[in-house]
Chain A
């Protein structure tokens, strides 16, 4: 406790960001130190798990020291330790988990393991101090595309998910074929601004009626086939048009399904979460659809959209308040369901 506030220290290392944060009362960020490996993995065209794990190990202690220093707290003031327990890269996750467990053991603090996606949803509690469940959440990140009904701080139910590729994987693949490099999301989003989203009509996959599930591999394949056939016919490809049209096809489906899910439940709140929540076209389309449907849209600022430990601290705090604890045998869960 510090100044009457409950302090959570949390650790996140599920992919290529090493982050440690200190958050007061689940909402107020005292520090959110993030060490990113994006530049390291660019050379490989994607995150290499073994290399990510090696860097997490070397970074995590300095990131912890930085988070403690920036928050200006000492260990006696920390009340709870939170950590991402999954899903993610197992070798990366275990660095955070081994570190968090050790701190919990040595400093005799309670420990709570957090689902990474629940963390992304909780980023909105930090960004919007009055936001409370229940609401519908749309989670879009490199590895996840899901719609969830958030019933309380500690629990949520997934009502729709991807049946094949996550949106982020489709973005990465298309970006690679267009020669844009990695990571694909921001590159395509940027180039799409210069293109015509209606230039090429790529197929939208809605699956069966009223389904909240996604399938992006068909759209991805359609783009790849288009590029191949244009190349074979000797036509020059307008990369900006392809990027804009691809993005339009993907986002239209995501936005329509998310707004449909909220309306069906009678929710007047839709919460956007995950790394792709920073995508400008997604935000614009979703804002417009929500405004037309009388739904209030919430999304976090870009720094809370990337993987970060502040969101994990917020989620851990609310889980702890709901009576949830983990013991020191906490393991890593690379494919943990929400």
Chain B
């Protein structure tokens, strides 16, 4: 049993393979903005390194977002085409949740945070409970940095956790703000220079596959966590217009 995992939502493009025992290989390309041109050659190299072929793959796990819209599309489109052409299922892996495999079983709070611009982040928070199972304590979403930190502090407090561990490109941008706010709220922080990677996507993908969460290619959808700017503006305009209509 082999799962091929694709990660293109962040600054680095990476691919990994897992078998029934876990992740066996990963390749990463740190060249920025070359995800489209690198991805298929990297898959090809990875399979060659592992000495098996694309036909030996039983499912595709793809980092489905949030992250860069363009990056999400490169990964999800490729995963859909792979699943279609190979007639195999695909697993839409929540990108934020994949960070639970950065440090399995850790005692702190795992806080992936991606820069969503406009002073916002795509973020969530996870802890490992006493049974060693990961729990989401802040739901993944697009938040202002302040709102996210408030929710994070409250959830960490409630679960009796003292250390907050930040990951992702948002940690590089807002890490200092987070550190100061966390210190004031009585938490310790660690800023890890790690972005989303295919090995974690493969690990979570394998787990989801076993839980029966794989889908046919047509049902594999990206998770942008945000509408396009144009749609957001249009919806706002419509809402204002209908509000005005009601007043009259």
Contact = CB atoms under 8 A, between A and B. Distances in A.
B37 A61 contact: no
Q: Is the interface of A mostly helix, strand, loop or mixed?
A: helix
A102 B85 CA distance: 8
A329 B38 CA distance: 6
A125 B38 CA distance: 34
Contact of A94 (B73, B82, B222, B234): B73
A98 B76 CA distance: 10
A174 interface: no
A331 interface: yes
A106 B88 CA distance: 12
Give chain B's interface secondary structure class: helix
Given A53-B73, A57-B77, A101 B40 contact: yes
A99 B40 CA distance: 10
Contacts of B206: none
Interface residues of A, number: 34
Interface in A94-114: 94-95, 97-99, 101-103, 105-107
A58 interface: yes
A236 B38 CA distance: 59
Contacts of B78: 98-99, 101-102
A60 B83 CA distance: 13
Nearest to A13: B77
Given A329-B37, A331-B36, A61 B217 contact: yes
A94 B218 contact: no
Contacts of B150: none
Contact of A329 (B41, B77, B80, B222): B41
A107 B81 CA distance: 11
A158 interface: no
A327 B73 CA distance: 21
Interface of A: 43-44, 48, 50-51, 53-54, 57-58, 60-62, 64-65, 75, 90-91, 94-95, 97-99, 101-103, 105-107, 327-332
19 contacts: A43-B234, A48-B228, A48-B230, A57-B76, A57-B80, A91-B70, A94-B70, A94-B74, A94-B77, A95-B73, A98-B77, A98-B78, A102-B77, A105-B44, A106-B54, A327-B41, A328-B41, A329-B37, A331-B37
